[in-house]
Amino acid sequence: MSSYPDPTSSAAAGSVLAPDPFQQAAGEAGSPALCAAVRDRLREGGLRWTPQRRALIEVLAETDGHVTTAELVERCRERDPATIPSTVYRTLDMLEDLGVVRHCHRPDGREEYHVLPEHEHGHLYCRACGGCWELERDESDRIVGMLERGQGFAVDLSHVTIVGRCRACRETG
Amino acid sequence: MSSYPDPTSSAAAGSVLAPDPFQQAAGEAGSPALCAAVRDRLREGGLRWTPQRRALIEVLAETDGHVTTAELVERCRERDPATIPSTVYRTLDMLEDLGVVRHCHRPDGREEYHVLPEHEHGHLYCRACGGCWELERDESDRIVGMLERGQGFAVDLSHVTIVGRCRACRETG
DNA sequence: TGCGTTATTGCAACTCATTGCAGATAGGCG
DNA sequence: CGCCTATCTGCAATGAGTTGCAATAACGCA
Ligand SMILES: [Mn+2]
Ligand SMILES: [Mn+2]
Ligand SMILES: [Zn+2]
Ligand SMILES: [Zn+2]
């Protein structure tokens, strides 16, 4: 979807399920290792390593789980008040092409990012309490498998958002 | 989700699966009948029937299938150039509480409305060709049933958007 | 170390959507 | 028929996100 120049054109699709080089890079050493891994991958593709990109990656490395785009812009701005939102948005697009982040949509349609998800997953959101859970592996396998067999449709699992009411909210209300 | 005063507080939930009074109203007679049905329901709840609401309902009655919110604003503006977007958005919220429309989210997160859907349904979107299909009944039954049994989660089916690549796009490259 | 190419940034304009508030008006009631 | 009041509308400000373009700066290469 992003019209960003794609460093290694197969990377966008490949990074999703392939053993992820960023995963190991970030595993122990954290931010510096992730920076180095991203920097190298960018240069391989003729892309550039800039202070703005570095800042965002450092912010991402400090982030657990889900984060809204606006929060990321805000955290970048804490480090550097001169941060420009459109640069952050464009960098996120690029990092998604690389497989460093995945986005999904919250019930209101706004974007939310997941940093280095260990495996692709969909989400369950409760409209009543605002809770969010990852879809279990076997549940998403069934959804993906069903649509693959029936319609020949290849589901983008990380983009699956299922909204409703969780058990707790149904019982109490 | 909408903070709109809810005319008959059970209507929001009830209208989804219950035999829908608007369905019949609009069936043959079209716009005037739908207007009358909505007007009566509003007055029952102490809400008001206004020219702005009437205009939107007339536009909706001429609409088949899915429409983006921006398109609806545009069509209202064709009838009355003085149309105010926020009024249209608020009216759509109200009509969704009444069960006259359902919204879902396109792959980019933007809203799309379905007028008087005959039955609740989720959507399948192809990112490559932009195509959109309704989820088949048995497919959505399986998804809804699985999450109901496993997690006790009540899925809001009309809000389910599954994004990916359709068979045709996968085959042609 | 410096140059030139070209990817990237900053910026401004734009789209879509939401919200709070003050003034307008629908419509129940006398 | 006209008043009163609570609901709605219009409006303006705000927030989220995208896009085109000119200026900047990364970095490969001499
Ligand atoms: Mn929604
Ligand atoms: Mn998306
Ligand atoms: Zn809940
Ligand atoms: Zn397609």
CB of B109 within 7 Å of some strand C atom? no
Examine the pLDDT at B163 and tell me if it is beyond 70: yes
User: Which residues make beta-bridge pairs with A113?
Assistant: A67, A103
In this structure, the answer to whether residues A47 and A101 fall within a common structural domain is yes
Residue-wise pLDDT for B85-129, tens only, equals 999 999 999 999 999 999 999 988 889 999 887 888 999 999 988
In this structure, the answer to whether residues B111 and B128 fall within a common structural domain is no
**Rounded-to-integer distance, Cα B120 and Cα B107, Å:** 19
As a whole number of Å, the CA-based R_g of chain A is 17
The CATH number of residue B56's host domain is 1.10.10.10
- B14 to chain A, closest Cα gap in Å: 15
Q: How far is the CA of A126 from the C1' of C16 (A)?
A: 25
In this structure, the answer to whether residues B25 and B90 fall within a common structural domain is yes
Residue-wise pLDDT for B67-87, tens only, equals 999 999 999 999 999 999 999
The CATH number of residue A148's host domain is 3.30.1490.190
Torsion angles phi and psi, residue B13, rounded to 5: -75, -40
Asked if residue B5 is part of any domain, the answer here is no
Residue-wise pLDDT for A107-162, tens only, equals 988 999 998 878 889 999 999 888 899 999 999 999 999 999 999 999 999 999 99
Asked if residue B154 is part of any domain, the answer here is yes
In this structure, the answer to whether residues A49 and A72 fall within a common structural domain is yes
pTM: 0.82
Average pLDDT along chain B: 85
Asked if residue A3 is part of any domain, the answer here is no
- Give the domain extent around B167: 123-171
**Rounded-to-integer distance, Cα A21 and Cα B40, Å:** 62
Q: Label residue B29 by pLDDT band (50, 70, 90).
A: low
**Rounded-to-integer distance, Cα A1 and Cα B130, Å:** 11
Q: Judging by DSSP bridges, how do beta strands B161-165 and B123-126 pair with one another?
A: parallel
In this structure, the answer to whether residues A62 and A133 fall within a common structural domain is no
Number of domains in chain B: 2
**Rounded-to-integer distance, Cα B105 and Cα B41, Å:** 27
Asked if residue A132 is part of any domain, the answer here is yes
**Rounded-to-integer distance, Cα A31 and Cα A143, Å:** 35
* Residues 24-43 of A with CB within 7 A of strand C: 42
- Give the bases of strand C that a protein CB approaches within 7 Å: 7-13, 15-20, 26-28
Sheet with B66-68: strands ordered across: B66-68, B111-115, B101-105
In this structure, the answer to whether residues B70 and B102 fall within a common structural domain is yes
Distance B66 CA to ligand 4 centre (A): 18
Which CA-bearing residue is nearest the C1' of C18?
Answer: B86
Q: Do A139 and B147 touch (CB under 8 A)?
A: yes
Asked if residue A4 is part of any domain, the answer here is no
- B33 to chain A, closest Cα gap in Å: 32
Asked if residue A2 is part of any domain, the answer here is no
Examine the pLDDT at B145 and tell me if it is beyond 60: yes
